[in-house]
């Protein structure tokens, strides 16, 4: 791909990375699976530790969605290993997903994870990548604000529903204030379809129809 920051809809860049589970090739090693690559500023820091525990607590739910987790920071691999050991020994949580050791920062620069004004460590970025290796979502958080892992899990569930049914999802799905867990039917693109929509679906108007799936 061209030399610019990756965007939604782009293929995830091909990368060879060193992880706590050995060398991996992205996205090829995850072909046919969803994966979430998330960066954290540094090992042995409080916010990052809470995030890793939170991700691990949802690990089985991500796995049930055919979705793997991959952490990343600019720390060395021995630091990752020692930190994972510390979490297991002191917090009784075993981190089962790999962590990329990007000590050269090559991967971080390629993905736009090091932002001006935030030093040489990575921001809290999240890339959601589908089974074809396409980037479906990118999230950036400042170093001071921990992520909401339930929202990331919701996004994966949402993308899988969108792909299966060719629909759109409302705000706060599946607990939307107007239509609950129902989904939005794509807008009509011609007059005949617009007239037919209220006959086929529940609608607020022809351009705002919804249904259960």
Give all domains of the chain, ordered by start, each with its CATH number: 15-147 (3.40.30.10), 166-213 (3.30.1020.10)
What pLDDT, in 10s, does the model give residues 142-166? Answer: 888 999 999 999 999 999 999 999 9
- Name which residue leads in pLDDT, 110 or 31: 31
> How many Cα atoms are found within 13 Å in the side-chain-facing hemisphere of 109?
6
| Mean pLDDT of all residues in 173-193 | 96
pLDDT at 5: 76
Q: Which of 48, 67, 203, 209 is catalytic?
A: 48
Residue 209 annotated as catalytic: no
pLDDT of residue 108: 87
At 85 the three-state DSSP class reads: helix
Number of CB atoms found within 10 A of residue 35's CB: 23
Record the pTM. 0.93
- The stretch 195-210 carries a mean pLDDT of 95
Q: What is the pLDDT of residue 120?
A: 66
Rounded to an integer, what distance in angstroms lies between the CA atom of residue 51 and that of residue 138?
17
59-64 contact pairs (CB < 8 A, 24+):
59/96, 59/97, 61/153, 62/36, 62/153, 62/156
Name the least confident of 33-47, 101-115, 133-147: 101-115
pLDDT of residue 123: 84
- Residue 1's pLDDT band, with cuts at 50, 70 and 90, is very low
pLDDT digits (tens, 9 = 90+) for 4-17: 678 999 999 999 99
Average pLDDT, the chain: 94
The pLDDT of residue 2 is 41
Q: Decide: residue 60, CB within 10 A, 0-12 exposed, 13-18 middle, 19+ buried.
A: exposed
How confident is the model over 79-99, as a mean pLDDT?
Answer: 98
């Amino acid at each position: 791909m061209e030399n610019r920051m990756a965007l939604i809809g782009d293929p995830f860049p091909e990368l060879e990375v060193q992880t706590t589970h050995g060398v991996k090739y992205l996205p090829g090693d995850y072909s046919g699976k969803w994966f979430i690559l998330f960066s954290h500023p540094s090992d042995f820091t409080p916010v990052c530790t809470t995030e890793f525990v939170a991700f691990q607590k949802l690990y089985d739910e991500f796995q049930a969605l055919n979705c793997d987790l991959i952490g990343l920071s600019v720390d060395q691999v021995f630091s990752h290993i020692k930190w994972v050991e510390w979490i297991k020994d002191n917090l009784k949580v075993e981190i089962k997903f790999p962590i990329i050791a990007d000590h050269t920062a090559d991967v971080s620069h390629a993905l736009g994870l090091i932002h001006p004004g935030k030093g040489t460590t990575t921001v809290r970025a999240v890339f959601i990548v589908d089974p074809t290796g396409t980037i479906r979502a990118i999230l950036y958080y400042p170093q001071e604000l921990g992520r909401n892992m339930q929202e990331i899990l919701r996004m994966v569930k949402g993308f899988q529903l969108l792909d299966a049914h060719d629909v759109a999802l409302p705000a706060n799905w599946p607990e939307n204030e107007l239509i609950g867990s129902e989904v939005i039917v794509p807008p009509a693109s011609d007059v005949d379809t617009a007239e037919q929509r209220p006959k086929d679906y529940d609608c607020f108007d022809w351009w705002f129809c919804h249904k259960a799936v």
